[in-house]
Amino acid sequence: MNITINTNLKKLRQAKGITQEDLAEYVGISFQAISKWERGEAFPDITLLPKIAAYYNVSVDDLLGVGKIRQKEKVEEYTKRAETENALEVWSEAIQEIPNDLSVMCAYMYALPNDRAEEKIRLAERLINESTDEEIYTISALQTLCYVYNDMGEVEQAKKYAEQLPHYMVTWSQIMMSLLKGEEAVKHIQSNLMSLTDLIYLNIINLAREGNYKPAEKINFYEYSLKTFELLLGNDYGFYYDRTLDLYYEIAASYAEVKDSENTLKNLNNSAEHIIRWLNLSDNSVYKSMLVNRHRYGSNTSTATLKWLIESMQEQQFDFCRDDEQFKAIAEKLRKYL
């Protein structure tokens, strides 16, 4: 554990706008002693720490530089809990205990339901104002503001925030690719490939949704996205089963538009098979594909998606084949995993 009291003392004094003599007078020692502390040539007597901390309105732990270490450990505890417990309840508790931690604010913002839009907006604006040195939180906040304002029907406001986000091709992710070397570069480029493949999926989904396309055309789009995942990942989809099961579902829904029972059921079954494989994955396994084998799956969040798929199969568009024995078998197979 690194004790960084000399750096902290200097930063706190400068932030308060006082001189070494001012602090020395308050503590009751010479300013030369303060100067030695800030240069790291000596340390304050332990009995003086509470008085100095009180003067700067911080804890002794913060003064010593270990407060952030303990805070990080707390955040990690909450993160693990959120994987198995109700995320909103966990992060609501966390933000009460650690209200100014950026990662807690961000996690709580994401956990808030859409009907608490004003609170999401307040948190997003705080993240933008307070995360000056941590771009990831600014981007997360801007993204949230785009979606919240769009859901509220304030599209122009959403566009205003969207325009503050970086363009695909001019981001730190792409520039860094040219700056890193060796194994560090390989891992970073693999991460880029995963992100780019996921961006293809997201664009395909929105293209099919917004364009006036025929079912056959949408099916071609979805199959194109499936092929990109297959080329990147082989048979080892990991987290991306979340994407492939969705694509198979959309293909099934498109076939359902033209009442093609055989292909509707075939692709519903493919969607079901992909979520079952996802349910049976181990957390944090390493991808096998040479294109992404420096990365792990991450935490398994498939249970909520399972419920979504079961509910989606109740949509009216599938009524024409609902009594088919194969449809019933798919639904029953999924319900076993609830």
Concatenate the DSSP letters of all residues of 207-266 into one string.
HHHHS---HHHHHHHHHHHHHHHHHHHTT--GGGHHHHHHHHHHHHHHHHHTT-HHHHHH
Q: Give the CATH number of domain 84-162.
A: 1.25.40
Query: Do residues 19 and 29 make contact, with C-beta atoms less than 8 angstroms apart?
Result: no
CATH number for region 5-65: 1.10.260.40
DSSP code, position 70: H
Interatomic CA distance for residues 248 and 223, integer angstroms: 8
Question: Strand, helix or coil at 338?
Answer: coil
Q: What three-state secondary structure class fits 286? A: strand
pLDDT per residue over 217-238, tens digit each? 999 999 999 999 999 999 899 9
DSSP label at 296? B
Residue pLDDT tens, the chain, 338 long: 345 678 888 888 888 888 989 888 888 888 888 888 888 888 888 888 888 888 888 777 777 766 666 778 888 899 888 888 898 999 999 998 888 788 999 999 999 998 999 999 999 999 998 887 667 889 899 999 999 999 999 999 999 999 998 887 778 888 889 899 999 999 999 999 999 999 999 999 999 999 999 999 999 999 999 999 999 999 899 999 999 999 999 999 999 999 999 999 999 999 999 999 999 888 778 999 999 999 998 777 788 899 999 999 999 999 999 999 999 999 999 999 98
Q: What is the pTM of this model?
A: 0.65
Nearest 5°: the CA angle 120, 123, 69 is 130
Ranges of each domain in the chain? 5-65, 84-162, 172-335
Structure tokens belonging to residue 269:
């079954």
pLDDT tens-digit profile of 183-230? Answer: 999 999 999 999 999 999 999 999 999 999 999 999 999 999 999 999
Identify the CA nearest to 104 among candidates 117, 122, 123. Answer: 123
Q: What is 138-194 written as a DSSP string?
A: HHHHHHHHHHHHHHTT-HHHHHHHHTTSPPTTSSHHHHHHHH--HHHHHHHHHHHHH
Question: Phi and psi (nearest 5°) for 260?
Answer: -90, 95
Contact 104, 98 (CB under 8 A): yes
What number of residues does the chain have?
338
Distance in angstroms (rounded) separating the CA atoms of residues 205 and 198: 11
